[in-house]
Chains A and B, each alone.
Chain A
Amino acid sequence: SQTIHQWPATLVQPVGSPLSLECTVEGTSNPNLYWYRQAAGRGLQLLFYSVGIGQISSEVPQNLSASRPQDRQFILSSKKLLLSDSGFYLCAWRRDTLNEQYFGPGTRLTVT
């Protein structure tokens, strides 16, 4: 069976500090990978998606970036965090367009 992991579960960081959130998927190969953000009072917003190693597409211009160094690893980064980066970050995967999308447990980020 497939599982998806995210860490850390929670993170409190000061403004201007760097960020690295990691997501890994087990039990499948060549998944499509996604990063979403859920901000307080707002819906889920797609940030990045990847259809293969080194292939990253950005949905929303911001100070975040993503990388996919391995087939089942997806990393969300920032060089300098802003207050507006606070939120709940969710990683997801799917085999292809016609299959279900599965979500990880999320990372709660608070920028102070």
Chain B
Amino acid sequence: KQEVTQIPAALSVPEGENLVLNCSFTDSAIYNLQWFRQDPGKGLTSLLLIQSSQREQTSGRLNASLDKSSGRSTLYIAASQPGDSATYLCAVVTGNTGKLIFGQGTTLQVKP
């Protein structure tokens, strides 16, 4: 059974700092991995999708990496801003139905 873990559960950093969020999964047989952002009371916004054959994806200040063999992904946020404060979720797809298995999330606070 696939399990996804995110560490840390919460993180507080000063503005401008670079930071890394971690995600690990127990079954390396994944189709892809997706990172999301969730603001309080809102739906999920897709940030990055990494296919199982890829090593990383970049979008603006965000860079996500994938090491499928070790069951790990990281989300790197450069030059953090207060507007980055949110909960970040990673999720993997392991079946051909496309359903996502989520981690518990990392709640990020960026202080001005």
Which residues of A are at the interface with B, using a C-beta cutoff of 8 A?
A: 32, 34, 36, 43-44, 46, 49, 51, 57, 59, 90, 92, 94, 96-106, 108
Instruction: Report the bound CA distance from A34 to B99 in whole Å.
Output: 8
B104 partner, pick from A32, A36, A43, beta carbons under 8 A = A43
| Distance between A67 CB and nearest chain B CB, rounded to angstroms | 18
Q: Which of B68-112 contact A (CB under 8 A)?
A: 89, 91, 93, 95-105
B96 partner, pick from A59, A97, A99, beta carbons under 8 A = A97
Asked if B32 is at the interface of the complex by the 8 Å CB criterion, the answer is yes
Residues of B within 8 A of A90 (CB): 43-44
Which residues of B are at the interface with A, using a C-beta cutoff of 8 A?
A: 31-32, 34, 36, 41-46, 49, 51, 89, 91, 93, 95-105
Given A34-B99, A105-B43, residue A98 in contact with residue B51 (CB < 8 A): yes
Instruction: Report the bound CA distance from A90 to B89 in whole Å.
Output: 14
Residues of A within 8 A of B42 (CB): 105-106
- Contact in complex: B102, A101 (CB < 8 Å): no
- Contact in complex: B98, A96 (CB < 8 Å): yes
Residues of B within 8 A of A44 (CB): 89, 91, 100, 102
| 20 A-B pairs (CB sep. < 8 Å) | A32-B97, A44-B102, A46-B100, A49-B98, A49-B99, A57-B97, A90-B44, A92-B100, A97-B31, A97-B32, A97-B96, A97-B98, A98-B31, A100-B34, A100-B46, A101-B91, A103-B43, A103-B44, A103-B46, A108-B41
Given A90-B43, A90-B44, residue A100 in contact with residue B49 (CB < 8 A): yes
Instruction: Report the bound CA distance from A44 to B34 in whole Å.
Output: 14
| Distance between A87 CB and nearest chain B CB, rounded to angstroms | 13
A102 partner, pick from B46, B89, B93, B105, beta carbons under 8 A = B46
| Distance between B15 CB and nearest chain A CB, rounded to angstroms | 28
- Contact in complex: A94, B98 (CB < 8 Å): yes
Residues of A within 8 A of B99 (CB): 34, 46, 49, 59
Residues of A within 8 A of B97 (CB): 32, 49, 51, 57, 97
